[in-house]
Amino acid sequence: MALPTSLPAEFDRGVVTTVHQGDCLVSAEPGLTFSTVLGSCISACVRDVVAGVGGMNHFLLAEPSGTARDHYGAPARYGAFAMEQLINQVLVRGTGLKRNLEIKVFGGGLINAALADIGAKNIDFVREFLLNEGYAPVKEDVGGSFARRVLFKPHSGRAFVKRLDNAAGASIVRQELAVAVRRAVRPTAGDVELF
């Protein structure tokens, strides 16, 4: 997908709402833009083309680690939950018809060797998830060795992607490494598990 170099005029006005890791936001507001910055993370942008309702999610990990003590927490930060949550919210606020959904997928970059498998796993996950659910993305900008800023207009479905420089990527790497390290922590002997 060829990316424009300058911000289109429609993204230069209105309200901008940031979508952070674990977020899932949905709106039909014509002047609203969702914005997120991605490294290894994935953001899906889903829109009901008939109702003009759309949303964006942002997840770092395809699936939980499976340990009883997953320090990362909120299920919305994992792929399956994030995708189901976004699609269901758009269906509920839209026409309720899966055939009216348009899906765009972004992210999964390899921006640091320490995160080598996370972006690739996220890309594989989101493609498999959509295939299993009977969807095909109409657009995607995934992979590569760079971070991205993604802007999405939920009402019109327009998306804009800007590839970021190394300084921005380094900041994202620090955030993602912190999460990945916390996720890798396993319970030690003597820990108590409550359930």
Q: Is the pTM of this model over 0.85?
A: no
Report the pLDDT value the prediction gives residue 103, as an integer from 0 to 100: 98
**Averaged pLDDT for residues 19-30:** 95
More confident residue, 66 or 34: 34
Q: Closest Cα to residue 105, out of 147, 46, 19?
A: 46
Helix, strand and coil percent figures for the chain, each rounded to 5: 30, 25, 40
**Averaged pLDDT for residues 66-86:** 68
For residue 26, being part of any structural domain is answered with yes
Q: How far apart are CA 108 and CA 42, in angstroms?
A: 6
pLDDT digits (tens, 9 = 90+) for 101-137: 999 999 999 887 766 678 999 999 999 999 999 999 9
Report the pLDDT value the prediction gives residue 191, as an integer from 0 to 100: 47
Q: Which domain holds residue 177?
A: 15-184
The residues, any chain, with a CB within 8 Å of residue 106's CB and separated by 6 or more, are 38, 42, 43, 44, 45, 140, 141, 142, 148, 150, 159, 161
Contact (Cβ atoms closer than 8 angstroms) between residue 186 and residue 66 = no
Report the pLDDT value the prediction gives residue 112, as an integer from 0 to 100: 77
For residue 7, being part of any structural domain is answered with no
For residue 194, being part of any structural domain is answered with no
Report the pLDDT value the prediction gives residue 50, as an integer from 0 to 100: 98
* pLDDT band, residue 164 (cuts 50/70/90): confident
Work out how many domains the chain is built from and give that number: 1
For residue 73, being part of any structural domain is answered with yes
* pLDDT band, residue 75 (cuts 50/70/90): low
pLDDT digits (tens, 9 = 90+) for 36-59: 999 999 999 999 999 999 999 999
- CATH number, domain of 28, equals 3.30.1330.200
